[in-house]
C-alpha cells in the first residue's frame, strides 16, 4: 500500500463527498427519493466501470510501454482530481471506487506494482464509502432491511465468487462482467 497515493485520492474524494452530500441535502434529495440525477449518475458510473473492466489489460500494456517518467507534481494533482471525481461518483451512485479508481491509478502510476495500487485503492475506498454511507444515513436514504439482505448475501457471494473467479479465465470473466454492467447502466440511463 502506498499511503501517499491513498492520501492524494482522499484529499480529493473526502471533500467532494461532503460537498456532494451537502448538495443533495440542499436539493432536497433524501429518503426514498430516486431523482433522475441519482439514476443518471448510476447509469454513467456503471457504463464507465464496464469500459474500465474491458480496457484494463490494454491500459496496462499502454502504460508499460511509456518510457518517460511522468512529472510527480502533475501526477499528484491528477491523483487528487481523480479522487474528487470518485468522491462524487461514489456518493451519488456507490459505484466507482473499484474499477474506475484502479484504472486511474494504473494510468497515473505505470511503474508501481499492481498489488500496491490495489491496496492503496482499497485503503482509499474504505473511508470514502464510510463517509458517503453515513451521509446517506443522515439524509434518510438507507433501507436497513435491504442493507441487511445485502450483507447476508454478500458474505457467501464473496466466498464463492473469489473461488470461482480464480478458476474462470480472465478473457471470459471480464466480457461477461462488462456486459452485465453495460446492460444495467443503459437501463438506468433510459429510466
Q: What is the largest CA-CA distance in the chain?
A: 52
pLDDT at 7: 94
d(CA 162, CA 109): 26
Is residue 148 a contact partner of residue 154, using CB atoms and an 8 Å limit?
A: no
Residue 79, class by beta-carbon neighbours within 10 Å (0-12 exposed, 13-18 middle, 19+ buried)? buried
pLDDT at 145: 93
pTM of the model: 0.77
pLDDT at 18: 96
pLDDT at 68: 62
pLDDT at 32: 61
Cell representation of residue 108:
497515473
Chain centroid offset of residue 90 CA: 6
d(CA 107, CA 56): 10
In sequence order, the 6+-apart residues with CB closer than 8 A to the CB of 104 are 78, 79, 82, 86
Question: pLDDT averaged over consecutive 10-residue blocks of the chain (191 residues)?
Answer: 92 96 85 69 81 74 65 89 92 79 83 82 91 91 89 87 76 78 81 68
pLDDT at 21: 94
d(CA 97, CA 143): 22
In sequence order, the 6+-apart residues with CB closer than 8 A to the CB of 187 are 43
The tens digit of pLDDT for each residue in 25-44 reads: 898 876 566 677 777 877 88
pLDDT at 34: 62
pLDDT at 81: 94
d(CA 191, CA 189): 6
pLDDT at 11: 96
Amino acid at each position: 500500500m502506498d499511503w501517499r497515493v491513498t492520501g492524494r485520492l482522499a484529499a480529493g474524494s473526502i471533500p467532494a463527498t461532503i460537498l456532494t452530500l451537502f448538495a443533495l441535502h440542499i436539493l432536497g434529495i433524501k429518503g426514498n427519493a430516486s431523482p433522475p440525477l441519482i439514476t443518471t449518475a448510476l447509469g454513467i458510473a456503471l457504463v464507465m466501470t464496464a469500459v474500465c473492466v474491458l480496457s484494463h489489460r490494454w491500459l496496462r500494456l499502454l502504460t508499460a510501454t511509456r518510457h518517460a517518467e511522468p512529472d510527480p507534481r502533475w501526477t499528484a494533482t491528477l491523483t487528487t482530481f481523480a479522487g474528487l471525481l470518485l468522491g462524487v461518483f461514489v456518493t451519488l451512485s456507490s459505484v466507482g471506487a473499484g474499477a474506475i479508481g484502479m484504472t486511474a491509478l494504473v494510468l497515473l502510476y505505470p511503474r508501481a506494482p499492481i498489488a500496491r495500487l490495489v491496496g492503496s485503492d482499497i485503503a482509499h475506498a474504505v473511508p470514502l464509502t464510510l463517509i458517503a454511507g453515513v451521509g446517506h444515513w443522515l439524509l434518510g436514504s438507507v433501507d436497513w432491511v435491504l442493507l441487511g439482505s445485502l450483507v447476508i448475501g454478500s458474505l457467501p457471494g464473496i466466498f464463492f465468487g473469489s473461488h470461482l473467479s480464480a478458476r474462470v479465465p480472465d478473457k471470459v470473466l471480464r466480457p461477461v462482467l462488462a456486459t452485465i454492467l453495460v446492460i444495467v447502466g443503459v437501463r438506468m440511463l433510459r429510466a
